[in-house]
Structure 1
Amino acid sequence: MTGDNTERYRAVRTLARIAYSPSFPLLGGFLDDEEWDVRIAALNGMRELLEAGRLQDSPGDGNALIRIGLRALGDANSLVTAAAADLGHAAGWPAKVLRELLEPVESRDDSEILLALRSAITLSRQGDPASVLATAFDAADHQRLLDLADPEVREEYLHVLGVLDVPLRSAWEKGLGDPSEAVRVAALSAARLLSTPLPSGLFEPLLADPAETARIETIFTLGHAGGFDRDAVERSLTDPSAEVRRLAAELLAGTDRE
């Protein structure tokens, strides 16, 4: 639908007020809208229809319409995924639908893979409703994603490893050595999500990374991991970046006090 954001938002709210099942898939059509607030309004409209008991689902598959909305669990915007999670709560987290959302991780379509990975992250944050991550999704089985051309897929896979607490050393080593700065930074950040830190020796070489952002993230990650080589960090006191020098000094000072 064309028109400005306000027009589309009003259209979504009108559809929600119509209050009968054909509105649900029409609202689903707005989940691809470029504006996040329109997508949220569509999800809220779906939830309101469901909670009010005004949704007559499609015959043959009781989850058909819910599946439309729950694809937004894999949205790139965290506010949209929160609204999708509210819909999931209202729908009772149907396990069949949730498993289907994760299946595209085996796809050859990068956009579908991203959808599955982001859905896994959202489900983990929701406490793994219906235990689909525990029973139907083994992140360690998908290391091939680190070989795909799209760096965004590689970033999100590393995020999944962190969120799901998977200390798979071979995958982390590959992510930390990725040719993309964004992927290396994602690996450093995601590694801090692990309940048991990886060895600091995996991160120390990135103190010499050509990207300032990666060097900064490395210092944060070393602070989280602990047990780092002080000589390696001390070399960062002469880094070209004033921010890296400051953070290195703070890290060293913090360990002096321990």
Structure 2
Amino acid sequence: MLRALVIVPTYDERENVPIVVARALAATPDDVHLLIVDDASPDGTGELADGFAATEPRVHVLHRAAKEGLGPAYLAGFAWGLERGYEAIVEMDADGSHHPEDLPRLLGQLTDHDLALGSRWVAGGRVENWPRRRVLLSRGGNWYTRLALGIDIRDATGGFRAFRAEALRRIHLGDVASHGYCFQVDLVWRALQAGLTVIEVPIVFTERVHGVSKMDGAIVAESLRLVAWWGLRRRLRAAFELVVHRRRLRSVRANSSRVV
């Protein structure tokens, strides 16, 4: 298994972090470390994480000054891990919805792939304890993403995924601007555009027991707006390339006619 860093962003996850940390450490070998990225949680999550790091060398903590969203937290974690030479970097939620026991399966796929997505919507994947509206929202969002971007990914919005470090270096993280859950679509889209190999690995996603979800209307609106823009830009680029191709064909035919 590659030397890996599992990034766990937190904001008011004091009840969940001890459980997630214990399960992740138990499920992985010693060369898999955890980085808790805390956005100044008012409930003391960051201080609790510091306590784990003080006694467990596989646990690290990155404190941020304020809550800025999922995307910036992960980008800070990516930079931290890449600077320290980890060979693989994983995204995982802090609320227990992602099962740490699936980490070896995700990381194992990086032998042959650049990015392994934990997928709820491929054969063998499923969700537990979700209300019907959440299922419809997730399935509808992924259908919309596939249609807009022309990609064959069943779960582009999922947040449990493993990257080879080199893959992250190739997808230009410096100009990623998405903040909410659209950040996940953004990275998959960039990976595919860069020609990276992506595989979906079935997982079971379990609704959180403690705390409240960070999903809100603004996050959904950002996702709809950005995916629509990326899809429009893709179609405009394709139309432009078609026009250029046709002009070149006409030019070649015209030159051929002069030679004859």
TM-score (normalised: structure 2): 0.28
Taking CA–CA contacts closer than 8 Å with sequence separation of 6 or more, which of the two structures ends up with the larger relative contact order?
Answer: 2
Identify the structure with the greater helix proportion.
1
TM-score (normalised: structure 1): 0.28
